[in-house]
Amino acid sequence: MEKILEQSVSSIPENTEDYYGEDGLLYCGKCHTPREEFFAKGIALMGKNKHPIECSCQRIERTKQEAIINQQKHNDLVRRLKTDGFSDSVMLNWTLENDNGRSPQMHHAQRYVEQWQTMRTENLGLLLWGGVGTGKSFLAGCIANALMELEVPVRITNFARILSELNSCFSGRNEVVDKLCRYPLLIIDDFGMERGTEYVLEQIYNIVDSRYRSRKPLIVTTNLTLDEIRRPQDTAHARIYDRLLEMCVPISCIGVSFRKETAQEKLERMKLLIG
């Protein structure tokens, strides 16, 4: 009698909309899918021959909540990567989505991101060269932002900042170099703008060479011409440029200066407003 009472109590649905089907299983009153299933091979556990399962609407709700949590984790990670990877908050807006269509080389940035796994495996970087204001830095920033959205750590910096870190690091140069080599992708902006002292050139070579030896890709933007890079002025520069050309595919960014275009547009706008 006690056993029958126990079974009858356990068979009372938790939700009044739920009901028992002809197969003896509890069904959800909303989606009409089982909330129980029998143990395999007729096994009974602690006097029971069935166990709870998710009905369809419970499974959908759980999946939705997991997606929300995973998206939040992704957003938090991307935020941390961008805080660590960018030295200038302006770069946060350098995205493929914000491209105004004026850069003829933007397809290279898109392809680099699409083929990232191959670029990473084969240690392939880019050497974005051309005049001032032709969108080289924007192109590199678009690549950085897109890869960070894919949860790839990227560091975009310049040699002036690296040299400052080297000079202020009490634990030694190796720590700075090792940190730069930990990033799957390193982007060095405005290469060639540094004062070419013997010390500076040696440090630049060490960074580029360490990156080369770690077999991780490097993207460099520079105002130097490809002819200047291929025909260096001395041995110290030749060592650096040879390494860069081994690691990076040269991409020409010669064209109209976007900065001059923007300045002209602002001037025309001002004339309209005050004319």
Please enumerate, as own/partner, the contacts of 83-88 that have beta carbons within 8 Å and a separation of 24 or more: 84/153, 84/155, 85/144, 85/148, 85/153, 85/154, 85/155, 85/156, 85/183, 86/144, 86/156, 87/156, 87/157, 87/161
Bigger pLDDT: 270 vs 57: 57
d(C-alpha 86, C-alpha 267), whole Å: 31
Q: What is the per-residue pLDDT across 160-199, written as a single tens digit (0 to 9) for each?
A: 888 888 888 766 677 888 889 999 999 999 888 666 688 8
Give, in order, the Cα–Cα distances in Å from 175 to each of 89, 157, 171, 187. Answer: 25, 16, 7, 18
Res 162: pLDDT: 87
Paired with 252 in beta bridges are 129
Res 131: pLDDT: 79
Q: Please report where in the chains the tokens 């166990």 appear, as a residue.
A: 51
Average pLDDT score over residue span 121-138: 87
Helix (H) or strand (E) holding 260: helix 258-274
DSSP string, 38-78: EPGGG--BTTBSEEE---HHHHHHHHHHHHHHHHHHHHHHH
Q: What percent of the chain has pLDDT over 70?
A: 81
Res 172: pLDDT: 67
Q: What is the per-residue pLDDT across 194-223, written as a single tens digit (0 to 9) for each?
A: 666 888 888 889 999 999 999 999 999 999
Bigger pLDDT: 46 vs 231: 231
d(C-alpha 72, C-alpha 107), whole Å: 30
pTM of the model: 0.76
DSSP string, 131-145: STTSSHHHHHHHHHH
